[in-house]
Structure 1
Amino acid sequence: MFYTYLRTLVAFLLWIANGNNHYHNQDKIPDQSENYILVSPHRTWWDPIYMAFATRPKKFIFMAKKELFTNRMLAWWIRMCGAFPINRENPGQEAIKYPVKMLKKSSRSLIMFPSGSRHSTDVKGGVAVIAKMAKVRIVPVVYAGPMTFKGLLSGERVDLNFGNPIDISDIKRLNDEGIEEVARRIQSEFDRADSENATYHNTKKRNPLTYLYRIPLGIVAILIVICTLIFSLIASFVWNPEKHLK
């Protein structure tokens, strides 16, 4: 429930800040009863929010660097959103075992950025291993839009385009050749979806008159955020997010 609330709240904040978002080929998203791995080249801080909102009501888990869990309130918040800590320098088996278990035994899917960092297009083998072990499909999605907070606030158009789901059940072994083939399929869909996105994308911004209602809504949203932060701080002392996920 809190996941849904936070997803809606943050999407509402993005709508106030930008309000020029467009989703394409959502019919390619698997049925809500099917778990999958949603993958994307990580291009901005806010593209995961658009991804989570476009695929609602499906809920997700996602990897986050362990340093983000040092702050009590932030750690509680992102755990409630489905994040689990990963040591990037030494991921260990838990980086594979936990998402595989969740994909198999829960109703949550997984969001992954195969590059591991924004703007990179290198596809790593982690997605392939998890998808193979959990026996799920890989769903690619690409973002086109503002890359800076200034561009977001100015109302630059946002386009999110979903690619064709990728089935890797035909790949028998995840050796170097197998992982390379998975990477090729994912990157091919990224490239195709990006090219398609270019036909949708334009530089048209939102109508400036929308500020007449966005500004008062923004004030209301800020008050809601403050209340949510206070609640999160208090809740971090009394509620265990790991039990919530279970």
Structure 2
Amino acid sequence: MFFYKFARIIVKIILTPLFRIETIGLENIPKKGGIVLCSNHINNLDPPVVGITMKRPVIFMAKEELFNIPVLNKIIRLCHAFPVKRGKADREALRKGLETLREGKVLGVFPEGTRSKTGELGKGMSGVGFFALKSDAYVIPCAIIGTYKPFRKTKVVYGKPIPFDELRNKKTSAEEATELIMTHIKEILLQYK
């Protein structure tokens, strides 16, 4: 965790003033217990920006292709990210994600699976619903709002935990759970844009 903490400080010093990052809703983040942190995805800077605004370390699922880039591979592994094969049922990534949540850690997920080309919220993939239903973790929606233009404000808004106990007791599908999560992210986007 030393590298993560060190990198977090350096990245925070650079990005916070550059993009005038404002964080809203940190009181909604539980201090203990597993969290499925679900955010929209508008830029390659989203993971570090979420990482510097959260008070707890975030373990991200990252697209497998990033682990094929020599220097980046080392950096993201030191930051405890793990690979996921996009567009397939990646059992190893699902297992690693559940293990992260059982250990009481924060799992960072971008449910859309890729960056939005338009900035609009896309359709969520069912993997995030799987994590929400198969763990007893808190599910926290997050919205990143802004353009990442230098010296223009970027907001990171953390919503309240989405109640999932009832859905876990019913036979809710991962797709339905994902839709609920995406609805909460959309509501935050509409409220704070």
* TM-score higher than 0.5: yes
Give 1:62's aligned residue.
60
Give 1:146's aligned residue.
147
Give 2:115's aligned residue.
118
Give 1:45's aligned residue.
44
- State the shift of 1:73 in Å: 2.6
RMSD: 1.9
Checking the alignment, whether the CA contact within 8 Å between 2:28 and 2:161 is kept in structure 1 is: yes
If you compute each CA radius of gyration, which structure gives the higher value, 1 or 2? 1
* Bigger RCO (CA 8 Å, 6+ sep): 2
**1:162–1:112 CA distance, 2 compared to 1 (3 A):** same
- State the shift of 1:169 in Å: 2.2
- State the shift of 1:48 in Å: 2.1
Give 2:152's aligned residue.
156
SS for the counterpart of 2:163 is coil
Checking the alignment, whether the CA contact within 8 Å between 1:136 and 1:167 is kept in structure 2 is: no
Give CA-to-partner distance per residue, 1:49-82, whole Å, 9 cap, x none.
Answer: 22122212x1121112222222333211101111
Checking the alignment, whether the CA contact within 8 Å between 2:61 and 2:84 is kept in structure 1 is: yes
Checking the alignment, whether the CA contact within 8 Å between 1:39 and 1:111 is kept in structure 2 is: yes
- State the shift of 1:16 in Å: 4.6
- State the shift of 1:144 in Å: 1.1
SS for the counterpart of 2:77 is helix
| Length-normalised TM-score, structure 1 | 0.70
Checking the alignment, whether the CA contact within 8 Å between 1:129 and 1:174 is kept in structure 2 is: no
CA distance in 1, matches of 2:181, 2:87: 24
Query: Identity of paired residues, percent?
Result: 25
Is residue 2:13 matched to residue 1:12?
yes
- State the shift of 1:91 in Å: 4.2
More helix per residue: 1
- State the shift of 1:180 in Å: 4.0
Counterpart code for 2:145: A
CA distance in 1, matches of 2:171, 2:124: 14
Checking the alignment, whether the CA contact within 8 Å between 1:60 and 1:109 is kept in structure 2 is: yes
Give 2:182's aligned residue.
187
- State the shift of 1:184 in Å: 3.2
Is residue 2:77 matched to residue 1:79?
yes
**1:43–1:174 CA distance, 2 compared to 1 (3 A):** farther
